[in-house]
Amino acid sequence: MSKYEILDKEKHRQLRVRTGYGAALGDAAMYVMTYPMEFRDIQSCYPILFTKDPNTGGFLAAAVMGFEADQNLFLKENGWDAFYIPVMVQRQPFLIATGGEGDNEKPVVSLDLDHPRVSRDEGEALFDGEGNPTEFLNQKIALLDKLHRGLQHGRGFIETLLQHELLEQITLDIAFNDGTKKSVQGFYTIAEERLYQLKGDVLESMNQAGYLQPAFMAVASLSRLRDIIERRNQLRV
């Protein structure tokens, strides 16, 4: 369970954040959420699929990292085995929350106190001796701002895909080298033929909104499925 609190320089001054990557630090996940403004980097390493948020039922874009719950095939003994790490992983254990009320609502930084990265004994300090944010915390705040803007843009992207019926369900039927088979369900992909059939005003509208290029990137990213299948094959060698 997560226990988020709005970050407070007095209350949380003594806390530290463990860096690095590993299952013990909460990185063992089959997929993480991503957003269109990140697709260029994501598609260089991970397949981009879509799935439904179990809490809201709404669609979200996902960078796929494994084929089973809690399986991240990019985790190695010495850390993360890819040159790009998704922002949703990099931002841990922080998240953007909403502070204030009514017209005074604004994004604020929150911290998951129950996250395995949070410590009092080791890791990067959040505040210096005078209570000012450290360079480490400022970097995380900048990352959260990037994430916040990206997720806002991503909502319109998903709405557009649904409006034009550009998402279709997909089942991944995979045969691994050790003879085992896996059928992965619950994902959706861009309906490639429908995407190519878009014309005129729809294409122009998607392009102007910054949605067209990410849609094609999501299609192209499916070639990365071969990469993670090979990573899974290597586990049993």
- Domain with 64, as residue range(s), is 4-232
- Average the pLDDT over 38-54 and give the result: 96
User: What H or E segment, with its residue span, contains residue 116?
Assistant: none
For residue 237, being part of any structural domain is answered with no
Give dist(CA 133, CA 109) in Å, integer: 12
Residue 199 is assigned to a structural domain of this protein: yes
**Residue 59 located in a structural domain:** yes
Rg (CA), the chain: 20
In a domain, 48, yes or no: yes
Confidence of residue 71 (pLDDT cuts 50, 70, 90): very high
pLDDT tens-digit readout, 149-166: 999 999 999 999 999 999
Q: What proportion of the chain, given as a percentage, has pLDDT over 90?
A: 89
Count of C-beta atoms within a 10 Å radius of residue 145? 13
Please state whether the peptide bond connecting residue 93 to the residue before it is cis, i.e. omega within 30 degrees of 0: yes
Residue 91 has pLDDT above 80, yes or no: yes
Bridge partners (DSSP) listed for residue 143: none
Q: Which residue has the higher pLDDT, 191 or 55?
A: 191
Q: What is the pLDDT of residues 118-130, one digit of tens each?
A: 999 999 999 998 9
Residue 237 above 60 pLDDT? no
Structural domain includes residue 92: yes
* CA 122/CA 135 separation, integer angstroms: 17
Give the model's confidence band at 99: pLDDT under 50 very low, under 70 low, under 90 confident, else very high.
Answer: low
| pTM for this prediction | 0.92
Q: How many structural domains does the chain have?
A: 1
Domain membership flag for residue 203: yes
